[in-house]
Amino acid sequence: MATWLSEDEQRAWRRLGAVTMLLPAALESQLQRDAGVTHFGYWVLAMLSESPGRSRRMSELAALANGSQSRLSHLVAKLEERGWVRREKVGDDGRGFSAVLTDAGYDMVVATAPSHVAEVRRLVFDALSPEQVRALDAICAAIMSRLAECDESTELPG
């Protein structure tokens, strides 16, 4: 209990908590309604659509999308059922698989992107000044570097 939060910090913390609970939920429900996908699912498809050959190594894709390998594996199984993604063996490494976006998957991303971007803009960027956008970027970068640190330390051998 050595270092409690200051009043400013308390307030910021509650609000950040609310945003991290409600913003993903709001985007989730928009995507679910308009496209029948999860936020994570859409994010993965969008990443693939911007990747060279619309294709990525599974592990690479998991890292890009900030998810675990297991989560991605389950997700890709569903996306494959729906015909948006296909798995392909990687040539030079017998263990490796790539997720490849199908044409149907690409069409789906193209069809879904506008309304999703509009929602993001409406909920986030329309509410912020350009300075705030830059400040937000810097703040998130600072937090991410802390999160990355902690990953490293848990990966260290004792």
Partner DNA sequence: GACGGTTAGTTGAATCGTCAAGGAACCTGG
Partner DNA sequence: CCAGGTTCCTTGACGATTCAACTAACCGTC
- Residues engaged in binding DNA (CB under 7 A): 25, 29, 32, 38, 40-41, 57-60, 67-78, 87, 90, 93-98
Pick one of 53, 94, 130, 158: the residue that binds its own copies (CB under 8 A): 130
* Residue 32 binds: one of its own copies, DNA, none (C-beta under 5 to 8 A by kind): DNA
Q: Is 128 in the site for its own copies (CB under 8 A)?
A: yes
Question: What are the CB-based long-range contacts (under 8 Å, 24+) for 108-112?
Answer: 108/35, 108/45, 108/84, 109/42, 109/45, 109/46, 109/49, 110/49, 111/35, 112/31, 112/34, 112/35, 112/37, 112/42
Which residues lie closer than 8 Å to 141 by C-beta, 6 or more apart? none
Q: Is 63 in the site for its own copies (CB under 8 A)?
A: no
Pick one of 91, 93, 150, 152: the residue that binds its own copies (CB under 8 A): 150
Q: Is 15 in the site for its own copies (CB under 8 A)?
A: yes
